[in-house]
Amino acid sequence: MKHKKLRFGTGFKVVLENVRAQAAQMVLEPGKSEGHRGNRHDGADQWLYVVSGSGVAIVNGKRLALAPGGLLLIERGDRHEIRNDGDENLATLNFYSPPAYRRDGSERRAGKPAEDGPRR
């Protein structure tokens, strides 16, 4: 069993993972965004759960409003951007299957889910 108490600060941080999946928290300040029109994860699906704040997701050119309690599936290869268009921080909890990021925060290559081993 693994357990982690989350403390949402700012930025993006991988918080827990095994060889099959990964959890990360992301906090965007008002007016900030993550990703861009060409951003995509070639090797992982991303589930994004909105903890607090508001914003917009642009996935494959389609816009979706983000609000607390919302859950979004961004499938591998989908081009996406997440923007905070609100007045407070946008906090999300993200799950990647298989893991999409290395311990240093850089993205893993497609098809290499365990290339730097599981985080213990």
Kindly report, residue by residue over 41-82, the tens digit of the pLDDT.
888 999 999 999 999 999 999 999 999 999 999 999 999 999
Kindly give, in sequence order, each residue whose CB lies less than 8 Å from that of residue 113, ignoring residues fewer than 6 positions away: 19, 20, 43, 44, 98, 99
Within a domain: 109: no
Sequence-separated (6 or more) residues with CB below 8 Å from residue 25: 6, 8, 12, 13, 15, 91, 92, 93, 94
Domain of 67, in residue numbers: 35-43+60-80
Residue 107 falls inside a structural domain: no
Question: Residue 85 pLDDT more than 60?
Answer: yes
Domain count, the chain: 1
Please give the C-alpha separations between residue 41 and each of 7, 31, 44, 46, in angstroms, as whole numbers.
25, 23, 6, 8
d(CA 92, CA 66): 10
- Alpha carbons 28 and 90: distance in angstroms, whole number: 5
Token output for 93 = 């909890």
Domain membership of residue 106 (yes or no) is no
Reported as a single tens digit per residue, the pLDDT across 11-44 is: 999 999 999 999 999 999 999 999 887 788 888 9
pLDDT of residue 71: 98
Q: What is the pLDDT of residue 112?
A: 52
Say whether pTM exceeds 0.75.
yes
* pLDDT at residue 118 greater than cutoff 60: no
Q: Are 41 and 101 in contact (CB under 8 A)?
A: no
Q: Which residue shows structure tokens 């268009």?
A: 85
Q: Is 11 part of a structural domain of the chain?
A: no
In a domain? residue 14: no
Query: Is residue 13 domain-resident?
Result: no
In a domain, 65, yes or no: yes
Residue 23 falls within a domain, yes or no? no
